[in-house]
């Protein structure tokens, strides 16, 4: 039995991968992004000691969470909220703060409130929604019947 010399080939791929990550981290745009992430996570231990759950959500998501709070305060027991499509919100709302209209974010921030989207078969059961005016301000709106829902569909798809 002869021993074969160790091949350097298995180290080649990890070395190239580490070098690629290092180069990406040195690009100016990525450096700023990484600095923001590091800064955010450096604040987390202090936030956990001094802030509650909702305060941390407010600090992290700012205006997106403010819209969710507004919606949560406007909902009545038994309401089913029609979530505006993300494309509509991106067109009318500050582009940085559109994520509140994504169902997973809405559920995470507001939690367990009955919500439907336009594509949902249960959309006809919706009792309220939010529309956004020309200045980017959300307004709570009650849905009374099928004609209101059809007008909203047209508004959301404009």
- Band (pLDDT 50/70/90 cuts) for residue 15 is confident
Residue 24 predicted with pLDDT over 60: yes
Distance CA 31, CA 11 (A): 27
> Taking residues 138-152, what's their average pLDDT?
88
Can you give the pLDDT at residue 2?
60
Residue 40 predicted with pLDDT over 70: yes
- Band (pLDDT 50/70/90 cuts) for residue 142 is very high
> Taking residues 81-100, what's their average pLDDT?
81
Residue 7 predicted with pLDDT over 70: no
Q: What is the dihedral of CA 18, 19, 24, 27, to 10 degrees?
A: 140
List Cα–Cα distances, 148 to 83, 92, 98, 124, 126, in angstroms.
Answer: 15, 20, 24, 10, 10
List Cα–Cα distances, 38 to 28, 34, 55, 59, 121, in angstroms.
Answer: 15, 6, 20, 16, 42
Can you give the pLDDT at residue 56?
83
- Band (pLDDT 50/70/90 cuts) for residue 16 is confident
Can you give the pLDDT at residue 58?
80
- H or E segment to which residue 141 belongs: strand 138-142
What's the CA angle centered on 43, arms 39 and 44, to 5 degrees?
Answer: 120
């Amino acid at each position: 039995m002869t021993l074969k010399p160790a091949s350097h080939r298995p180290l080649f791929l990890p070395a190239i991968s580490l070098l690629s990550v290092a180069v990406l981290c040195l690009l100016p745009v990525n450096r700023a992004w990484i600095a923001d992430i590091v800064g955010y996570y450096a604040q987390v231990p202090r936030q956990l000691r001094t802030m509650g759950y909702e305060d941390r959500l407010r600090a992290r998501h700012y205006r997106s969470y403010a819209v969710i709070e507004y919606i949560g305060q406007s909902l009545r027991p038994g309401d089913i909220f029609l979530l505006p499509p993300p494309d509509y919100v991106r067109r009318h709302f500050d582009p940085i703060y559109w994520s509140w209209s994504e169902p997973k974010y809405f559920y995470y921030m507001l939690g367990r409130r009955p919500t439907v989207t336009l594509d949902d078969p249960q959309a006809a059961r919706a009792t309220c929604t939010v529309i956004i005016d020309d200045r980017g301000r959300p307004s709570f709106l009650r849905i009374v019947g099928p004609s209101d829902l059809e007008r909203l569909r047209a508004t959301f798809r404009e």
